[in-house]
Every structure is written in C-alpha cells, then in structure tokens.
Amino acid sequence: MQTHDLELPDCAGGESFALMVMGHSMAPEFLEGEIIIIEPEGLAKDGAYVLAWHNEEWTFRQLVRTEAGWVLHPLSPAFADAPLADLSAVRGVIIQKALPGRRRASKHYI
C-alpha cells in the first residue's frame, strides 16, 4: 500500500476512515482496488490487520506475535516480514473491506 503523504485524520474520538489497497503484498485476502476501513482506536492484537508507520512510510500488514516479538506480516510470500520493536508503530486496525460497486463483496474483521 503506498500512502507516503497520508496524514491520519486528527478527529475527536478517533473516527474511522477509508483507504484504497495498492499493490499485492496482502493478496489473496486483500486485492488492489479494494477499500479498507481503519479504526484508529481499534485493538491491535495477534492476527489483526493493521495500518502502521514503518521505515518512514505507511504500510498495511497483518500483526503477528512471534517468539522474537511483533512483526508486520505480508500475506504474499513475495514480501518479507518486518519486525517491530513495540506496537507504537501501529496506528489503526482494519475493521472492514469492500470492493467498490459490490456491496456483497464486503467483509468485516471485527
């Protein structure tokens, strides 16, 4: 997901917002062009899909707890895991995805 210039909304109460998936690092679960809904105050837990600020860019990955600590895990094997020192990089949890124009293609993650 390329969101280099994205600034997270500074809304009272941490309102949810939407982004479009770019790229194929999270395929097959999330495809390019799908819309994801992010909850800034969502619970970041093992297995959750998250939006994180990592290596000076926004990234969308699955949060996974390993014996060595937390990692941002892409679903596509063509991409590598990225270790996290702690969860401060996680800025939101994906709660829903949808394909524009196809209501029945919507899926909730909470």
pLDDT tens-digit map of 25-63: 999 999 999 999 999 999 999 999 999 999 999 999 999
Q: What does pTM read for this prediction?
A: 0.83
pLDDT of residue 23: 95
Cα distances (angstroms) measured from residue 52 to each of 38, 60, 78, 99, 105: 11, 6, 19, 22, 25
pLDDT tens-digit map of 8-32: 544 445 899 999 999 999 999 999 9
Give the residue among 94, 78, 42, 84 at the shortest CA–CA distance from 64: 84
Which pLDDT band holds residue 100 (cuts at 50, 70, 90)?
Answer: confident
